Chain A
Amino acid sequence: GESVGLHLPTLSVQEGDNSIINCAYSNSASDYFIWYKQESGKGPQFIIDIRSNMDKRQGQRVTVLLNKTVKHLSLQIAATQPGDSAVYFCAEKNGYSSASKIIFGSGTRLSIRP
């Protein structure tokens, strides 16, 4: 596989604060990016996506920012809640079709302090 197997870094955030999770992607040809949330023992859950012709996209309490110049992606979670505790992965694709393979980047564990 192309993703890198690294031990996961942890981001600890106070409940109610905003969380920012960063990701560097590898393939400059990638034109579609996705953030996933994975809870322990479960499969990844789609959060939000963004196409390469955009630099920002907002969802409910989440915002994704894309900087193609430096190949950087970030996920912002507003008013972080205990239910947001999970591991978050960025992922990239070449092509928008669901038949195109998704390559996962390194993840970040989000821990919420009460």
Chain B
Amino acid sequence: GAVVSQHPSWVICKSGTSVKIECRSLDFQATTMFWYRQFPKQSLMLMATSNEGSKATYEQGVEKDKFLINHASLTLSTLTVTSAHPEDSSFYICSWGGTPSDTQYFGPGTRLTVL
């Protein structure tokens, strides 16, 4: 149980394009989504928190117009990196909270490379 998927698992795009990352909970429903970003050899940094049907709350220093979060349902959330640039290249990880077991479940991550 508690399976989280992210799609795509990796993506390479050209600078200036937008990339959408999906995070799904496959066998449970949850109210809260956390999006993290991890640069090579660094820790996970929380970008934003969202609840279904509400606007996301962004951490300090994270541009809300650049990283669009759509929390569509209790099983699907998306992160769109708009007008991506090489400095946005990173490992993006989602995590579901507010789960029935009250445990937070992490996704497998999406590797974004912007050329």
* A43 CB within 8 Å of chain B: yes
Task: From known contacts A1-B59, A98-B102, A99-B97, infer whether A104 and B44 are also in contact, taking CB-CB under 8 Å.
Answer: yes
The DSSP consensus for interface residues of chain A is: loop
Chain A residues positioned under 8 Å from B113 (CB to CB): none
B108 in complex: contacting residue of A5, A8, A42, A97, CB < 8 Å: A42
* B1 CB within 8 Å of chain A: no
Chain A residues positioned under 8 Å from B101 (CB to CB): 98
The answer to whether B45 touches A1, judged by C-beta atoms less than 8 angstroms apart, is yes
Interface residues of B in 42-90 (CB under 8 A from A): 42-47, 49, 51, 59-62
The answer to whether A1 touches B42, judged by C-beta atoms less than 8 angstroms apart, is no
Task: From known contacts A98-B103, A102-B104, infer whether A1 and B109 are also in contact, taking CB-CB under 8 Å.
Answer: no
Task: From known contacts A3-B46, A5-B42, A7-B42, infer whether A44 and B93 are also in contact, taking CB-CB under 8 Å.
Answer: yes
The answer to whether B104 touches A43, judged by C-beta atoms less than 8 angstroms apart, is no
The answer to whether B108 touches A43, judged by C-beta atoms less than 8 angstroms apart, is yes
Chain A residues positioned under 8 Å from B95 (CB to CB): 43, 102
Chain A residues positioned under 8 Å from B109 (CB to CB): 41-43
CA distance A40 to B109 in the complex (A): 11
CA distance A86 to B51 in the complex (A): 31
The answer to whether A101 touches B43, judged by C-beta atoms less than 8 angstroms apart, is no
The answer to whether B32 touches A1, judged by C-beta atoms less than 8 angstroms apart, is no
* A70 CB within 8 Å of chain B: no
The answer to whether B32 touches A98, judged by C-beta atoms less than 8 angstroms apart, is yes
* B31 CB within 8 Å of chain A: yes
A104 in complex: contacting residue of B32, B41, B43, B99, CB < 8 Å: B43
List residues of B whose CB falls within 8 A of some A CB: 4, 30-32, 34, 36-37, 39, 41-47, 49, 51, 59-62, 91, 93, 95, 97-99, 101-104, 106-109, 111
Q: List 5 A-B contacts (CB under 8 A).
A: A1-B59, A5-B39, A6-B43, A7-B41, A101-B46
